[in-house]
Amino acid sequence: MRTLWIIPLVASSFFLSCDELTGPAASHWFLQREKRDDITYYSINFSSATEGWIVGYSGTIEHSSDGGTTWHPQQSGVSSNLWDVCFVNSQTGWICGAGNTILRTSDGGGSWQNISPADADGSIYVSIRFIDGNIGWMSSNSGELLRSTDGGASWEVMKRFILTARLVVLDANIVYAYIGKLYRTSDGGSTWDSVAVTIPKNYMPSDMFFADAHHGWITTQNGTGGMMIEDYPVVMTENSGVTWSSSDLLTDGGLGCVHFVTAKVGWVAGGRNIYKTIEGGRHWTLDFSPANGMLMAKDIFFLSEECGWVINWSGQVYKCSGSL
């Protein structure tokens, strides 16, 4: 569910641009990979413009070494659903999922080591985020926020909630979690405070992203339980969650995921469309809509303004190449 990511604050010069990889001169989104009817996909992550991974149903891991043009299966060694994937470089990455599943690779996914804790209680690990080879965080469906300082070999519960928290990891000290309120730590989880989040009536949160310690966004979905809604706001803060405001309304079936590359430039993707902002999220423009009007976005990931991907539940991958 992306929904819950370590934040690439600034794209490193190590990354190639998508233009260098794919060649088109004009900026555009295009369908890069067709759907897979028999598998549900949950997460996409790239360590560079060439190296990427997607994960999903029943232990599915697929890897691309050409920027998403072709994908090849990797052996996970598990049959549980895999919910999230995170790489800190081209070799070192982690995956989490159902049945207490935690996987780690140090060879780009050539082999995956199952480092699932033996004494866990049947949790689904929903999101996993590492900032380097040692320090990482996870959230579970039982409301736990867990931290590792040894590359995932062991985990300590740093905060407990009743339900799954949306998780953002900025660095070794600053972590944000949302569940009704925004919970914040600036000392690696030793102490926490919380601030209220203003979500407009009839909406519910779907995903959260922070570009830095101050600028954050929460996307929304239908929260009425049945009333038809066609327009959705993005809720945003510029002061670490102290105050929140809403963007103009975006026409969609519900906004599912969000990613920013700077405090000004970012994207949201939903059931029908992808929108882009260059104004910090206050105003948005339609960036892409598939011909059939059915995007059904599940996760979004950008390396830079020129290089990004969206994956939907059925495994279609859409790629953005070039700057608008």
Q: DSSP characters for 252-263?
A: SS-EEEEEESSS
Q: 45: pLDDT confidence band, cut at 50, 70 and 90?
A: very high
Q: Each residue of 155-208: pLDDT tens digit?
A: 999 999 999 999 999 999 999 999 999 999 999 999 999 999 999 999 999 999
Q: Each residue of 271-314: pLDDT tens digit?
A: 999 999 999 999 999 999 999 999 999 999 999 999 999 999 99
φ/ψ (deg, to 5) at 218: -130, 125
The pLDDT assigned to 120 comes to 65
CATH class of 17-33+199-324: mainly beta
Q: 117: pLDDT confidence band, cut at 50, 70 and 90?
A: confident
From residue 268, give the alpha-carbon distance in Å to each of 80, 130, 143, 308: 29, 23, 25, 12
Question: Whole-prediction pTM value?
Answer: 0.91
Give the residue from 285, 269, 213, 307 showing the smallest Cα distance to 17: 307
The pLDDT assigned to 36 comes to 85
> Which residues are bridge partners to 307 per DSSP?
304, 321
**Domain ranges in the chain with CATH number 2.130.10.10:** 39-196
Distance in angstroms (rounded) separating the CA atoms of residues 101 and 81: 9
**Domain ranges in the chain with CATH number 2.120.10.30:** 17-33+199-324
Distance in angstroms (rounded) separating the CA atoms of residues 48 and 207: 23
Q: Each residue of 46-92: pLDDT tens digit?
A: 999 999 999 999 999 999 999 999 999 999 999 999 999 999 999 99
The pLDDT assigned to 38 comes to 85
**39-196 topology per CATH:** Methylamine Dehydrogenase; Chain H (2.130.10)
